[in-house]
Amino acid sequence: MSLPERDDAPAAAEKMTDVLARIQAELDDIARRIDRNQAMIARSTWNVGAGDDDYVKAMQDADLSAQRIAGVAEFLRMIGDASHPQWRVDTATATGTLKLTELIRSIGTVGLDIEAKPEEDAGNVDFF
């Protein structure tokens, strides 16, 4: 994070409040997806799995994960609301560490012209 905007601020520096808002929105979306998927999985499998303690714990863990992510999103929203509106940060280095193209587009450096990264760079998707 940098001090309030100055004439010599890096050209790529964005308002911290904008960066926090993008991250908060992404976390809200992740929490909604977990909730939606957990509910779908439960509808499809509850009759078979409800007697299995590990299944119930996994379902509860998914619900808790969604709540925790939503809590972190709200925390970031409050930090953004309390931040000086002129604080700026250059997110280019952090954006460069992201592997998922859609994540780069949703929280990464605004205006960054990116091409989709090769699938193998993002890691494997496990189907179980």
SS3 98: coil
Q: Where are the domains of the chain?
A: 14-89
What mean pLDDT, rounded, does the chain reach?
85
| Residue 111 region by backbone torsions, left for phi larger than 0, else alpha for psi between -120 and 50, else beta | left
Q: What percent of the chain has pLDDT over 90?
A: 62
Q: Mean pLDDT over residues 113-128, rounded?
A: 58
Q: Mean pLDDT over residues 106-128, rounded?
A: 65
Q: In this model, does residue 26 exceed pLDDT 60?
A: yes
What pLDDT is recorded for position 60?
95
What pLDDT is recorded for position 64?
97
Residue-wise pLDDT tens digits, 30-54: 999 999 999 999 999 999 999 999 9
By CB atoms closer than 10 A (0-12, 13-18, 19+), residue 76 is buried
Q: What percent of the chain has pLDDT over 70?
A: 78
Q: Mean pLDDT over residues 93-105, rounded?
A: 89
Q: Can you read off the two tokens belonging to residue 81?
A: 């609301």
Cβ atoms of 88 and 16 within 8 Å: the answer is yes
What pLDDT is recorded for position 96?
87
What pLDDT is recorded for position 53?
96
